[in-house]
Every structure is written in C-alpha cells, then in structure tokens.
Amino acid sequence: MRPIVVLGAGSWGTALAIQFARGGGPTVLWGRAEDEPEKLARERVNARYLPGAAFPPSLAIEPDLGRALAAGDDVVLVVPSSALRAVLTQIRPMLRDTARIAWASKGFELSTGKLPHQVAREVLGPAVPIAVLSGPTFAKEVGQGLPTAIAVASPHDEYALELAERISSGGFRAYTQSDIVGVEIGGAVKNVLAIATGCSDGLGYGSNSRVFLITRGLAELMRLGVALGAKRETLMGLAGLGDLVLTCTDDQSRNRRFGRALAAGKPVEQAIAEIGQVVEGYHAAKAVHFVAEKHDVDMPICNYVYDVLHRGVPLKDVVASMLAREVTPEN
C-alpha cells in the first residue's frame, strides 16, 4: 500500500493526515518551512495548530516537497482556496504519472470565480483523477478522534471509494459522491453565511435570528448551486446543510468568530489579525458576490456580508436594510 501524501500542515491538514494514518495505512505529511516540519517530526504532535493530537506511528513527516510527492500516488492538498492554483502549478512537474489529486480547499477562486475542480482541470488537464473532501468538520474534534462524517466527491467512482475507505476508521466515516459541484458550492458559500450568523449573535439578536439566517442562507446556497449545476440532494447533505449548520452555530468556526468580532466594533483588518489563521469567508464573500451577479442569482444575505466587508457599509445599516426588504414568497 503506497502512502497518502497530505500537503499542508495547518490544523486541518494535520487532522486529515492523522485520520488517514489512524487506520494503519502509511501517510506522509508535508509542511512549509514556517510550519516547522522538523519540529513536527521530532515532537510527533502539531503543538501550534492541533495540540494534544499525537501522530500515529504510520504518519511520517517529510520537509522536502519533491520527496513527499515521490512517496505516493494519492495526493491531498489542504491549502487555502486562494493558493490552490499556485500549489497545483508548483507540484505538477513533480507528480508521478499515476498521481491522483484531491483537495480539502473550500471557496471560489477570487480572480476568476471558478470552483476548485475547474482550477484543477485547467492546471492538471483532463486525465488526472480528481476529488474533493468536504463536510461538517472541525480539526480539533477530528484530532481527538470524535465521531465525524464527510463527503468524498469525484467524477471517478473508483477513486472516491478508495479515498473514502482509506480515511474511514474509528469514529470517522466518509460517504462517496459524484456531484463535485454541489459539494464545492456548499463549502464555498457556508463561510459567508457563518460570518452573518456571527454578526447576528454578536449583536445579541438571539436564536430566532440565527435560525432565520441559516434557513434563508440555505435557500441562497441552493439557488446558486442549482444555477451552477449542483444537485439539490447534495446541498441538503453533509457538504451543504451539514457544513452550514456546524459553521454557523459553533465558535470553533473562524468565520463565525470573525463575525462576532465585527459586531463588537472591531475593524475588519483587526478582526482577521486576531483570528490568527485564514478567514476563508472574507475572500469568499467577494467571490460569491461576483458569481451570483454573473449568474443573476438573488443572494441578499451574502450580498449584505459583502457590503460590510468590502464596501465599508456599517453593520447597523445592513441590518436595517435587510429587515426593511419587501415581503416575498418563501419558495
């Protein structure tokens, strides 16, 4: 059995590498120099991003990118969506001829509005099997071995099944999917909506408001998904509704905490800096706004988040505008 190669040693990359290795299969984790791979190899734990989650014996740390890619055929990229194209371009000359590429990145490419699988196809061509891993997951809980479920989506059924089987062990279960568009849209839009619910809760608007935003946010997510060719069933599954509810209701979500910081009156730049890691929803808000306009999809909640983050509209003005919208049919 050849190793699974995970690129990215942040909290989620480390958690996925640990989970792949828990079943006993060989796994290689590569991190950038700033992730201190030598320290990870020595201490057998990522104390910076995932403290307390010990590395299984079958997890190896490889500081050299070329050697990491030479170790196996199945490569899993765990990088911000904004960096996906650059990383794919960097690794393409180093990939084995039999390589298969998956990613756990969530979000549209900001400059083009393209989904990750579209970016991957442009960089890698049509012959390389591709897949995405997504769903309602917090790295800390995966690191602790708590029960978790995700979707593995790929147009290649055999690849999806093999990847799902490799990562499923203990309390972690993966379900296969062929609707890669739906899985990616769920992961892209939910971060924007998590900022909205964080703002609402930070303003003290209560549970009614939170559920209002989640429910109407789901309607927006589904409208965009259907416009881009996703299946409704996918958007009601783990990578759609599941990820949306998780991200909007728990402060382990960086995007939700970011929204709460904005509600406390902190400037956008300060709120991002205090989170200390990438806040995907900040960039996703601009990308979702662009894609929704391009496809003429009505997404008022996401647009209001865009107004606050990228047009400098005061949060209190956005709330007043949202509540003053004219009455419309629910469906």
Give the integer Cα–Cα distance in Å for 71 and 131: 19
Alpha carbon distances (Å) from 48 to 27, 37, 140: 20, 12, 12
Contact 186, 243 (CB under 8 A): yes
User: What residues are paired with 174 via a beta bridge?
Assistant: 150
CB atoms within 10 A of CB 224: 22
- Confirm whether 231 is a catalytic residue: no
Q: Where are the beta strands (DSSP E) in 267-322?
A: none
Closest of 143, 135, 145 to residue 50, by C-alpha: 143
User: What residue type is 85 in one-letter code?
Assistant: R
Q: Assess contact for 190 and 108: CB atoms under 8 A.
A: no
- Decide: 151 and 240 in contact? Cβ < 8 Å: no
Q: Which amino acid is at 248?
A: C
Answer whether 115's CB lies under 8 Å from 184's CB: yes
- How far is the C-alpha of 288 from the C-alpha of 239, rounded, in Å? 17
**Which three-class secondary structure string do you get for 174-186?**
EEEECCHHHHHHH
Catalytic residue among 114, 140, 190, 266: 190
Q: Looking at the annotation, which residues are catalytic?
A: 190
